[in-house]
Structure 1
Amino acid sequence: MTKTPIILASQSPRRKMLLEWAEIPFEVIVQSTDESFPEGMPVTEVPIHIARGKAEAVKQYVQEAYHGEYAGSTILAADTIVVLDGQVIGKPSDRDEAIRILQSLSGNTHRVITGVVILHSEGEISFSDVTEVHFHHLSPDQIIFYVDKYQPYDKAGAYAIQEWIGVVGIQRVEGDFYNVMGLPVSRVVRELSNHVFSASH
């Protein structure tokens, strides 16, 4: 695969790991951004909106700070949200909120939506991927054990599917498993191959 430079606009260790598994060469450059979204925005658009903000912030930073060193680079940004009964569930602010979120997910089906924005020399590629996750009923002890041991405060929906709770608590997944981890990596690879890497030859 060509060495066209990819900038990952995310400090998520999961997204970094998935790109490494896909053997895509990349560098990480991150800028802090506002992750709010307009009221009434369709939920499938929310993570795209947030990811676009991340990508645009990194693009501006790179142009100002590196004076063309990264000219022609492709910027990849993503954002993942959890949606239950039409409501967006973000990252828990503390232990009590994490417990409340997992209590609401217990025994229910929710959607995990990852929005992806790829800025490249020809323009922008944006899409979202949806996975349905079905949780078993979790006991209060299971929820407290998970929150206290894994402290999932940096994760939308207060859990990571690749951790203990995914092994024990998830009944089934409909859709891309890796999307729940934070990046629909096979779709990303296809988009890069079709629109970015092919244009560099």
Structure 2
Amino acid sequence: MERIVLASQSPRRKQLLEWAEIPFDVIVKDTDESYPDGLHTEDIPVFIARNKALAVRSELSHDRVILAADTVVVLDDEIIGKPEDREDAIEILTRLEGRTHQVITGVVIMKNDKEIVFSNTTEVTFNPLSYDDIRYYIDKYQPYDKAGAYAIQEWIGVVGIGEIHGDFYNVMGLPVSRVVQELHKLI
């Protein structure tokens, strides 16, 4: 497979591409992650991912393959972003514990005039968590750079998640199996 450009600084996305043995370079441009009012929830991460891809594309030859993604956590039709601080992280996980939420990753793959766009949704159900469990996780793992204030591959996912319906790796930040399928169509 030809070398692609990953328009993301996410260590989890990098790890997933490495596991899939996809050769890539990381190129990231600062991108506005706001979105227009009225956009359907599942379209929001796609909108943001497209902006990331376009920002990087402006710096490269159009024959390079660019992969961009964005992940949002949704509870009761509300997007739960990255926590601002410890108290916000505690509040977010307290809202998620014992409930089911959706993790939606939007993916954009560009090469020349071709563009592949999709989103993937995974339902995640947390077991009931104690306040001490939530504080322990936040203090030890500092999940301030993660949508929904958690990473499924860390302690809280191992002990706190009762069920997932959908792609596990989507919750990590990239539905890598689908990405590989789409890359084979494009390359």
| Residues 1:57 and 2:46 are matched in the alignment | no
Distance, in Å, in 1 between the alignment partners of 2:126 and 2:38 is 27
Distance, in Å, in 1 between the alignment partners of 2:138 and 2:24 is 32
**2:29 aligned residue (28, 31, 43):** 31
Name the residue aligned to 1:104: 95
Q: Secondary structure at the match of 1:61?
A: coil
Name the residue aligned to 1:75: 66
Distance, in Å, in 1 between the alignment partners of 2:85 and 2:75 is 19
| Residues 1:115 and 2:106 are matched in the alignment | yes
TM-score (norm 2): 0.98
Name the residue aligned to 1:88: 79
Q: Deviations over 1:61-112 (max 9, x none)?
A: 23xxxxxxx4511000000000000000000010010000000000000000
Amino acid of the residue matched to residue 168 of structure 1? V
Q: Deviations over 1:150-181 (max 9, x none)?
A: 11000000000000000010001000000000
Count of residue pairs the alignment pairs up: 187
- Report runs of 4+ in structure 1 exceeding 4 Å deviation: none
Distance, in Å, in 2 between the alignment partners of 1:55 and 1:73 is 11
Distance, in Å, in 1 between the alignment partners of 2:83 and 2:39 is 21
TM-score (norm 1): 0.91
Percent of residue pairs bearing the same amino acid type = 64
| Residues 1:148 and 2:139 are matched in the alignment | yes
Moved more, 177-186 or 35-44: 35-44
Structure 1 portions without partners, runs of 5+: 63-69
